[in-house]
Amino acid sequence: ACMLCRRAEADPDTCGRKLEKQGLCAHEFCMFFANKLCQQRVEQLGLVGFLPEDIQRTVDRAAQKHCFVCGESGATITCREMDCERSFHLPCAAEGGCVTQFLFQYRYLPSPTPPTRKG
């Protein structure tokens, strides 16, 4: 099961692919949405750049938070609305009607070299 949402099976459109490596198991989007869990620039480290110790720290912090939808502990995502303290597991947020939005960081794409003038 995913260490972050605690589900063995989840909709890949909601949670992303389930990744497993060196005893770690987590859904890709569960990691991206988890509070204070940062991806390293080198995606070959840990699970697509999320370090095992950072994932475990996130799981430990979330043990104190209860999901607003299911009531279980381990909620890793906090609502981003001002003054809202509700926490969720990613699949529960979707089931509870919360809007989740993830935008990959913008990447700079150089414009093509302009054609050289002849003559």
| Tens of pLDDT, residues 44-59 | 788 888 999 999 999 9
Whether 16 maps to a domain, the answer reads yes
Q: What pLDDT is recorded for position 42?
A: 78
Whether 114 maps to a domain, the answer reads no
Average pLDDT over the chain reads 83
Whether 23 maps to a domain, the answer reads yes
Q: What pLDDT is recorded for position 26?
A: 94
Whether 4 maps to a domain, the answer reads no
Query: Which structural domain, as residue segments, surrounds residue 99?
Result: 12-103
51 within 8 A of 43, measured Cβ to Cβ: no
Report the distance separating Cα 9 and Cα 32, nearest Å: 18
Q: What CATH number does the domain containing 72 carry?
A: 3.30.40.10
73 three-state secondary structure: strand
The number of folded domains in the chain is: 1
Whether 109 maps to a domain, the answer reads no
Amino acid at 34: A
Model-wide pTM > 0.75: yes
